[in-house]
Amino acid sequence: MDRLAVISDSHIPERASELPAPFRERIRSADQVIHAGDFTSEDVLAEVASLADDDLTAVYGNMDPRNLDLPAVDTLTTEGVTFVVSHGTGAPDDYEERVAGIVREEADEQAIGIAGHTHEVLDTTREGIRLLNPGSVTGAPPASRATMMIVDVDDGDLDVTIQDA
């Protein structure tokens, strides 16, 4: 079994000051960490990579500086499950369709889409593709609270839990 810490939308230092302490420990203890963009600084990327012990899959968000040199889309396969990670940048009205389209372009229909951008927790299925959004790890506005997801993956099965700080 692999445990994934799934986070997004740090927005440090513009909208938040630091990662919540309870989340730091959850990130540190995970087997893999996924960040779906909007670190907004090199320091935060370095901190998350350090907490993840470099077992980090991360993508570029629309608020990230260009020098972070992250891909727009990345994939991670563990325990028989492929995750397609993107930020989900764009208008809110077609967010789910857009992220599902990215998953279809990058992998097969069995893949799980992980994206951020909206700061709203989401676990839904769109066009046959499961989509996860962990919300904002720092509770950065417009989020109403700090959230992340823990995803336990075991031989193709997923158990997703939403965590509050």
Q: Which residues of the chain have pLDDT under 70?
A: none
Q: Which pTM does this prediction carry?
A: 0.96
Q: What is the pLDDT of residue 108?
A: 76
Smallest CA-to-CA distance from 163 within 2, 8, 1 is with 8
**Type of residue numbered 56:** L
C-alpha 66/C-alpha 17 separation (Å) is 21
The pLDDT of residue 97 is 96
At residue 110, the pLDDT reads 86
Dist CA 60 CA 53 (whole Å): 19
Task: Name the token pair of 34.
Answer: 């996924």
- Segments making up each domain of the chain, as ranges: 2-164
The pLDDT tens digits for 54-97 are 899 999 999 999 889 999 999 999 999 999 999 999 998 999 99
Question: The domain 2-164: what is its CATH number?
Answer: 3.60.21.10
Report pLDDT for 54: 83
